[in-house]
A and B are shown apart, each in its own frame.
Chain A
Amino acid sequence: MSILKTPVPGASTLSGTSTLSGARLRRGTLALVAVGAIAVTGLLETFTPVSGWAGSVLMAAAVYLVGQTVISFLVEGRRHALDRLVTTAVYAAFALAMLPLGAVLFKVVQRGGGLINGTFLTHSLRNIGPTDTGGGVYHGIVGTLEQAALASLISIPLAMLTAIYLVEYGRGWFARLVTFFVDVMTGVPSIVAGLFIFTVWVLMLGLNRSGFAATLALTILMIPIVVRSTEEMLKLVPDSLREASYALGVPKWRTILKVVVPTAVPGIVTGIMLGVARVMGETAPLLLLNGFTSSINFDPFSGPQAALPLIVWDQAGRPNPQSITRAWGSALVLIVMVLLLNLGARALARLSRTR
């Protein structure tokens, strides 16, 4: 076959490269294999009931993979064939991982985008019947922002102090125990955190459901995230900075506050923002703790308070199309808020690195 490059006897007289590197596929070969794979897929589809574009793409990919491996094996040998196989598989894995992100973002924008306007962002769902259109998610935006802010207010000091303890003070069994249980806490399912607060707040103390009750559960979920990221960032601060500070006679606590933490602060803030983004989207604890309302409530400490994830959950579970559209609309608002926080955190991390 002409497209396959076989070692040319004369080539080795000019330079050693071709004999040293062995036979390799020519540049166009793989493109030809791809074309062939698509053709074969077209053929196969007439015989087998593969349906939908997803099936076709999967099948074409599989055929391509086989074709590429066989040709590479024949020309380049086993090692290079395997190498190419793995390379293609790894690229495919990445594409596959990106598929849901693209699909989710596309679908949310497509289904919810039409709903976003001034009314939707500044009105609540009060007195909006299930089959009515109109209304908005302002009550959810207020609730989500307040709950996330309160959760940050409680969890950030606790988490940062814990991280400082682990990095700067912690030695021996107690530090190991704390590290271990921070890991355990990372693994606590959000519904369990919700159940715990529900047990204490509603069942034991007899208090009413409120935004603050949900905040407490969110705090439990946020603390380990912030501890972990802060700990990682503090560990990155070089010991030479600490030692330089000690050498100047600066007490340890001032060293931590004035040298260690400021050095790590961009990374810490990034971690905090990611933590906030994470708890903003939490739904399970809110189901148990927020209570339900479709009105605006600015006070997280009394009365039920809405939240965006809760609105998505509530509207998605209703059978009528108006509600389901509203679910997509609120999902879009929520996802924009979460993604903005994420991108902001990344931008901050990047900015501080270049400085």
Chain B
Amino acid sequence: MSDEQPPIEEVLATLAPAPAPLSTGRSVRPGDRIFAVLSGGASLTLLLIIALIAAFLLYRSIPAVRADTTNFLTTSAWFPDSTPSTFGIAALAWGTLLSSLIALVLAVPVAVGTALFIAHFAPRRLAQPLAYLVDLLAAVPSVIYGLWGLFFLVPQMVGLQTWLADHLGWFPLFSVGSGSTFKQTMLNAGVVLAVMILPIISAVTREVFLQVPRDHVEAAQALGATRWEVIRLAVLPFGRPGIISASMLGLGRALGETVAIALVLSTNYVISWKILEPGGNTFAANIALQYGYAADLGTNALIASGLVLFVITLVVNIVARGVIARRREFAGAAG
């Protein structure tokens, strides 16, 4: 061994091979290339699936809409297999939107309240288990909500609906014709939907509420704000885009819900404001209930209605994302 130390460059060279050039991207290792291609390919597959869904549904829809002797968009009746073929999505679209709106109106306040409770009111140690409980609500399969709605909720709701019809019957929404049974009504369907979308709205909202910067909360507290004032000044302004996006997610889920509606609602093809009367229908429930009886044209007609549902949920999603993106910029500029 010599006393002289070798130059530092030599020591480094023995420790590690020459470092790859940092950002030229020329000497990419094969493993890296394979992995990048794999993961990029998986992403591409997802895009392909979405594109294929749209393409195939459209491909089967066109002959159905061609064969339709009435206006596909404004007709309420659904007789695709009769001659002449008459069917349209007006009643389905109406029922889908109405039931989803009822669900949103009922679920959003409760969900935001629940999220506030877990994020800011519940004792710290209990917050996580309580959040699990709310998530369990989302885990219950929709067919079980349908079963529960049909055999438990529907009879329970007769009293409340009778009361609403008696006292608020002057309001068009709550008016009923004579002899409504108050059983398988649009309101019941909306309540079941509300239960189903509540956990999603609540979970997303809660996540946003938990991300509120501590500085904002503590600043408000330092000014002597009560808990509500902290929420109004710090939490809600920060969480508003979250609430909106969460509601949109819930709306998307409600629009496409199938079996619960098909079980709870007694379906017909009528456009009506009267949510305390049995009847109404939705895209998804109609597909589930009719496909078994549908012949060729009927099947294509159902696919056409499915395409419309797909497009509607797509639009809801896009609008939601647009709102969130804009709000985020705004919040960023303000914060």
**Cα of A190 to Cα of B262 in the assembled complex, Å:** 14
Smallest CB gap from A178: residue in B:
B43
* B105 interface residue (CB < 8 Å to A): no
1/0 contact trace for A276-288 toward B, CB 8 Å?
0110111110011
Q: Which of B29, B136, B143, B151 contacts A313 (CB 8 A)?
A: B143
A46 within 8 Å of B (CB atoms): no
In B122-149, the 8 Å CB interface with A consists of: 122, 130, 132-137, 139-148
Residues of A within 8 A of B148 (CB): 103-104, 107-108
Interface string of A73-103 (1 = CB under 8 A from B): 0000001101101110111111011101101
Question: Is the beta-carbon distance between B141 and A168 smaller than 8 angstroms?
Answer: no
Q: CA A257 – CA B228 in complex, angstroms? A: 46
Chain B min CB distance to A329 (Å): 11
Q: Indicate the member of B19, B144, B306 with the most A CB atoms within 10 Å.
A: B144
Q: A97-B202, A192-B309 are in contact. Are A200 and B56 (CB under 8 A)?
A: yes
Is B329's beta carbon under 8 Å from chain A?
Answer: no
A191 to B205, CA, bound (A): 26
Q: Check if B49 sits within 8 Å of A189, measured CB to CB.
A: no
Give the distance to chain B from A223, nearest Cβ to Cβ, in Å.
7
A92 touches B113 (CB 8 A): yes
Q: A151 interface residue, CB < 8 Å from B?
A: no
Give the CA-CA distance A111 to B148 in the complex, in Å: 10
One of B130, B139, B143, B151 near A277 (C-beta < 8 A): B139
Interface residues of B (CB under 8 A from A): 16-17, 19, 29, 31-32, 34-36, 38-43, 45-47, 49-50, 52-53, 56-57, 59-60, 109-114, 116-118, 121-122, 130, 132-137, 139-148, 150-152, 156, 159-160, 163, 166, 195, 198-199, 202, 226-229, 231, 249, 252-253, 255-259, 263, 283-284, 287-288, 291, 299, 302-303, 306, 309-310, 313-314, 316-318, 321
What residues make up the interface of A, taking CB atoms closer than 8 Å to B? 49-52, 54-55, 79-80, 82-83, 85-87, 89-94, 96-98, 100-101, 103-104, 107-108, 111, 157-159, 161-162, 164-166, 168-170, 174-175, 177-178, 180-193, 195-196, 199-200, 203-204, 220, 223-224, 227, 249, 251-254, 256, 274, 277-278, 280-284, 287-288, 309, 312-313, 316-317, 324, 327-328, 331, 334-335, 338-339, 342, 346
| Extra inter-chain contacts (18) besides given A169-B36, A316-B263, A335-B141, CB under 8 Å | A86-B228, A97-B111, A97-B137, A182-B46, A184-B317, A195-B302, A195-B306, A227-B46, A251-B29, A252-B32, A253-B29, A253-B31, A282-B142, A283-B259, A316-B146, A316-B150, A335-B140, A346-B132
